[in-house]
Amino acid sequence: INRFPHLTSLLDRIMFSKVCDMAKKSGTRYLSKKRGEGYGPPLENIGEAVGNTPMVKINERLCPEGRTIYAKCEYFNPLSSVKDRLALSIIETAEKEGKLKPGDTVIEATSGNTGIAVAMMCAQRGYKCVITMAEPFSVERRKLMRMLGASVIVTPKAGKGTGMVEKAAELAEKHGWFLCHQFETDANWKFHEETTGPEICNDLKGVNGGKFDYWVTGYGTGGTFHGAGKYIKATSPDTKIVLAEPGAANLLDSGIPTERNADGSPNGSHPAFKAHPIQGWTPDFIPLVLEKGMDLKLMDEYVPIPDGVAVQTSQDLARTQGILTGISGGATMWAAIETAKKAPEGSVVVCMLPDTGERYLSTPLFASIAADMNEEELEIAKSTPSHVLLPS
């Protein structure tokens, strides 16, 4: 029902539920609104567009035979990533608790997606926004945040993720700004428990009786894993939760805990961390939000991501499914495919695609993608006489 915002009255929702029940019994699938019907009444603000992202079935060109993989496409959020959920929750929670008032400044450390989402919410609410971001992350992310009105403070590469976190805390204390604490706040995982997890389970009710065997995700802050995982375990206890991280930065697999400051933030870089290409995943510390999720014993299986497969799988998704997702989406899908290969026939696997591939134009994801015409394209151009642009 949440996918149909025009169903505002109780009677409308009761009737809709009855129609869906009849559809299930007859084998008819009502998974989306009819094209041309419209979205529903205009939204009050962009924050209302966050969530209720669709799941898409992966075809046989990538999915192992006899198995089903559904990808939850978080790039359908208004600023094209799962972090829109986190930003909305942190800002709304701070407002409810009286920690934010008109004219305040919000600051956060981010690899990009959270900063873009926080900048979106600050622009909509009228807050000033300052983002700290480590040097290696893609330049398009900086430009997007600045387009949304944020100031972006770039920290040196040598400081890694902990450097940008320390800089944000330092600036917040110096200037009295509101620090989001995305890696520590319960507002992060609780929103996923309230939205992401229920969306997955509700959208599968009309498919295979709601049964799904595996849920696959990676982690940045650990909010999706913790919150959605908690809901999935409570609602579908037979579903196995698969957590992935870069093989080159196996923080969880090392068994070494992160040392923390009094506020839960990291007190230094994790000894198992090594640089990896999956932007937005696995900072150089174990976030407190993730650690709390691990304490709940939510993870059933662990998958390390080998070098190279994340980029390749993201490109495969684009070329075989028409799905444009980032490097983290490629990593998660690779873990989902490997999980499906080992799963019993008939298994259903759900995985997360955290963001859009357009956020990676300056990264290894697009390094092999040329801007100029190749020989094949030039031959096509020459096959008719007009308007042929020859190489200079």
Q: Is the dihedral of CA 73, 75, 78, 84 positive or negative?
A: positive
| pLDDT computed for residue 23 by the predictor | 47
- Using CA atoms, how far residue 70 sits from 56, 144, 203, 310, 359, in Å, is 5, 29, 11, 18, 22
| pLDDT computed for residue 168 by the predictor | 96
List phi, psi (to 5°) of 100.
-130, 135
pLDDT at 212 exceeding the cut of 90: yes
- Rounded to two decimals, the pTM is 0.90
Of 358, 71, 11, which Cα lies nearest the Cα of 215? 71
Of 67, 76, 329, 60, which Cα lies nearest the Cα of 214? 67
Lowest mean pLDDT among 32-36, 230-234, 266-270: 32-36
Token representation of residue 259: 């040392």
Of 83, 89, 84, 90, which Cα lies nearest the Cα of 107? 90
Pairwise CA distance, residues 192 & 228, whole Å: 5
| pLDDT computed for residue 2 by the predictor | 47
Token representation of residue 208: 């295979």
Pairwise CA distance, residues 106 & 90, whole Å: 11
Q: How far out from the chain centre does Cα 227 lie?
A: 13
Q: What tens digit of pLDDT does each residue of 68-117 get?
A: 999 999 999 999 999 999 999 999 999 999 999 999 999 999 988 999 99
Q: Which residues contact 70 (CB under 8 A, 6 or more apart)?
A: 55, 56, 57, 58, 204, 212, 348, 349, 350, 351
Q: What tens digit of pLDDT does each residue of 226-250 get?
A: 999 999 999 999 999 999 999 999 9
CB 217 within 8 A of CB 245: no
Token representation of residue 3: 């996918």
- Using CA atoms, how far residue 42 sits from 2, 38, 81, in Å, is 15, 10, 22
Lowest mean pLDDT among 22-36, 159-173, 256-270, 310-324: 22-36
Pairwise CA distance, residues 276 & 273, whole Å: 9
Q: Is the dihedral of CA 334, 142, 226, 121 positive or negative?
A: negative
Q: What tens digit of pLDDT does each residue of 285-343 get?
A: 999 999 999 999 999 999 999 999 999 999 999 999 999 999 999 999 999 999 999 99
CB 361 within 8 A of CB 138: yes
Pairwise CA distance, residues 65 & 8, whole Å: 41
* Residues annotated as catalytic (active site), given as ranges: 83, 328
| pLDDT computed for residue 207 by the predictor | 86
